[in-house]
A and B are shown apart, each in its own frame.
Chain A
Amino acid sequence: EPEVTQTPSHQVTQMGQEVILRCVPISNHLYFYWYRQILGQKVEFLVSFYNNEISEKSEIFDDQFSVERPDGSNFTLKIRSTKLEDSAMYFCARKLTGANTEAFFGQGTRLTVV
């Protein structure tokens, strides 16, 4: 199964700066997810995206976060004003359908806020 490509693989940013994480999924996959893993902790759900709109989001996904699919291909996660506690691995995942289909993950973007 083809991978989900995430860019960049690692980003270091100053606190308060905006970052955009990108995910390039397979074009015929309709369900996209962002997950986050703080170092040493379990993977946590951030947001799911279907049909060009958010279908579900967690309490972590506050007003500092936004997602979009600006060109019908790339799926982006934007953090408007980064905080130290945003430092984590961010994973994009895709599913072909919303039914019980397998989720495929990108290799992750390691975000370090300094």
Chain B
Amino acid sequence: KNEVEQSPQNLTAQEGEFITINCSYSVGISALHWLQQHPGGGIVSLFMLSSGKKKHGRLIATINIQEKHSSLHITASHPRDSAVYICAALNSGNTPLVFGKGTRLSVIA
């Protein structure tokens, strides 16, 4: 059974800070999602990656398959980045996602 662990659980940052959220998983996976959950509850997909690094605007996601670890970085953080960030592992192509508990990020102006 794949367990997905995230750290930290809660994170408070000052506007402009560089932020890192970590995700570890216990078994081999085919891909990993980073998701953002807004205060209203909706979930938005940020990245899906299976190797290396992806960048979108101020967001960067990296994954190390051998170490079973992924990170999500936010550069020049802004209060609008405040949300819960969730990583979810995909064990194989058509299996359902296994979710972490999420990291609650608050960025203060």
| Docked pose: A105 CA to B37 CA in angstroms | 10
Does A91 contact B43, Cβ atoms closer than 8 Å? yes
CA gap between A35 and B45 in the complex, in Å = 15
Query: How many chain B residues touch A (Cβ–Cβ < 8 Å)?
Result: 25
Whether B42 contacts A100 by the Cβ 8 Å rule is no
Residue A22 interfacial (CB < 8 Å): no
How many residue pairs at the A-B interface have CB separations less than 8 Å?
Answer: 68
Partner of A98, one of B40, B50, B93, B100: B93
User: CA–CA, A54 to B6, complex, Å?
Assistant: 30
Interface set, chain A 17-70, CB cutoff 8 A to B = 31, 33, 35, 37, 41-45, 48, 50, 55-56, 58
* B25-40 Cβ-contact flags toward A at 8 Å (1 or 0): 0000011010100001
The yes or no answer to B57 lying at the interface (CB within 8 A) is: no
| A45 with B97: CB separation less than 8 A | yes
**Which residues of chain B are near A48, meaning CB under 8 Å?**
94-96
Among B42, B45, B50, the one with the most A-chain Cβ atoms within 10 Å of its Cβ is B42
Q: Which residues of A contact B100 (CB under 8 A)?
A: 42
Interface bits B42-74 vs A (CB < 8 Å: 1, else 0): 111100101000000000000000000000000
Task: Tell me the complex Cα distance, A58–B96, Å.
Answer: 10
Q: Which residues of A contact B50 (CB under 8 A)?
A: 100
Q: Which residues of B contact A113 (CB under 8 A)?
A: none
Do residues A103 and B93 form an inter-chain contact, with CB atoms below 8 A?
no
Chain B nearest CB from A47 CB (Å) reads 8
Q: Which of B35, B48, B99 contacts A44 (CB 8 A)?
A: B99
A-B contact pairs, 19 of them (CB 8 A): A33-B97, A35-B99, A42-B86, A43-B43, A43-B86, A43-B97, A43-B99, A45-B97, A56-B96, A98-B93, A100-B90, A101-B48, A102-B33, A103-B33, A103-B48, A105-B35, A105-B44, A106-B42, A107-B43
Interface residues of B (CB under 8 A from A): 30-31, 33, 35, 40-45, 48, 50, 86, 88, 90, 93-102
